[in-house]
Amino acid sequence: MKLYEALGLEPALALHMEEVKKHFYERSRQWHPDKFSRASAAEQDLALEMTAVLNDAYRTLRDPVSRAEYFLKERGIELSKDAPAELLEEVFELNMALEELRDGDASVRAQLEQSAAKFRSMQMVSDTELASLFIHHDAAPGPAKLDQIRAALNRRRYVSNLVRDVEKELHVHSAN
Amino acid sequence: MAYSEKVLDHYNHPRNVGSLDKADPTVGTGMVGAPECGDVMKLQVKVNPTTGIIEEAKFKTFGCGSAIASSSLATEWLRGKTVDEALAIKNTDIVNELSLPPVKIHCSVLAEDAIKAAIDDYKKKSAHV
């Protein structure tokens, strides 16, 4: 996996932020384009390219969600195309309330703030769930575990989109 | 992206928006969603239990114009059809009727899924009566 290799890390799902950061700093120093100011054009190009890859690797691997998405993609696993069925009823109600808010009914605010809080806590539960799935996977990798991770990621993504949308609407329609 | 005239017509004048009583044993409810966006589609059918004909179909969709048009068209088609005829509606029929571009095909898939889910729900409910 290219991004892990760039940072000199073994491909794993459970990574410590500090570890990723340490590797990133070390390698970035090593490949810093300033160090290559007197090198050949080819070496200068390589230094630039490596720096770009390192930045990309750091951005992708420091965040657990983007790291897992990258990991699954590299393993040839597409993220799920289904919305989590158990959430649909709630999402529908949420959209009804948002529509009322847009139509100027401020009385739904409290309900929306409650839903936002609920989805935010779901997001946190998802994060914890993912963290433990990562550890289990690294200890003994297997397709079944990757599948669980895929489902958890899908749910996490869906819920965080919801949080984002509700917060945005609440913000837009505040103060009037 | 430009919507086709038929999409715009359904979007501006959606047919059969609303809801039916979920608790009614002759009503089937289908709720489906798209994972990428927060799109949700609720489609309901009211079936005459003796004839098996869909007498009423309602929908409420939160999503883009194509998603709204696809479900609006679906409810139009559902009225007067038998349950089995309804299950034969394919997403490609919706694509053709509305001239949906490739990037919007998932909207028609959502509508087909909603029809199937609603009929499924009705069948489950009527099996218990």
A62-97 pLDDT, tens digit per residue, is 999 999 999 999 999 988 767 788 889 888 999 999
For B28, phi and psi rounded to 5 degrees?
-110, 135
CA neighbor of B41 nearest in space, from B63, B9, B8, B13? B63
The beta-carbon contacts of A132-139 under 8 Å, at least 24 apart in sequence, are A133/A13, A134/A12, A134/A13, A134/A14, A134/A64, A134/A68, A135/A14, A137/A13, A137/A14, A138/A12, A138/A13, A138/A14
State the pLDDT confidence band at B70, using cuts at 50, 70 and 90: very high
Residue A176 has pLDDT above 60, yes or no: no
CB contact under 8 A, A161 and B37: yes
Residue A52 has pLDDT above 60, yes or no: yes
State the catalytic residues of B. 37, 107
pLDDT at A80: 73
Residue of A nearest to B34 (CA): A83
Query: How would you list the strands of the sheet with B27-33, edge to edge?
Result: B27-33, B40-48, B53-62
What does DSSP say about strands B40-48 and B53-62: parallel, antiparallel, or unpaired?
antiparallel
* A contact test, residue of B40, B42, B106, B110 with most A CBs within 10 A: B40
Helix (H) or strand (E) holding A22: helix A17-30
Rounded to the nearest angstrom, the minimum Cα separation between B80 and chain A is 27
CB contact under 8 A, B33 and A95: no
Residue of B nearest to A160 (CA): B38
Residue A176, token pair as written in the block: 């009037």
State the pLDDT confidence band at A160, using cuts at 50, 70 and 90: confident
User: CB within 8 A of A30, min separation 6: which ones?
Assistant: none
pLDDT at B1: 59
Contacts of A79 in chain B (CB under 8 A): 35
Residue B126 has pLDDT above 60, yes or no: yes
State the pLDDT confidence band at B2, using cuts at 50, 70 and 90: confident
Rounded to the nearest angstrom, the minimum Cα separation between A13 and chain B is 23
* A contact test, residue of B22, B41, B58, B62 with most A CBs within 10 A: B62
CA separation for the pair A11, A107 (Å, rounded): 50
Residue A134 has pLDDT above 80, yes or no: yes
Is residue A158 less than 8 Å (CB to CB) from chain B? yes
Average pLDDT over residues A11-21: 94
Residue of B nearest to A164 (CA): B38
Average pLDDT over residues B66-84: 96
Contact at 8 Å (CB) between B121 and B21? no
Rounded to the nearest angstrom, the minimum Cα separation between A167 and chain B is 14
Residue A42, token pair as written in the block: 């080819």
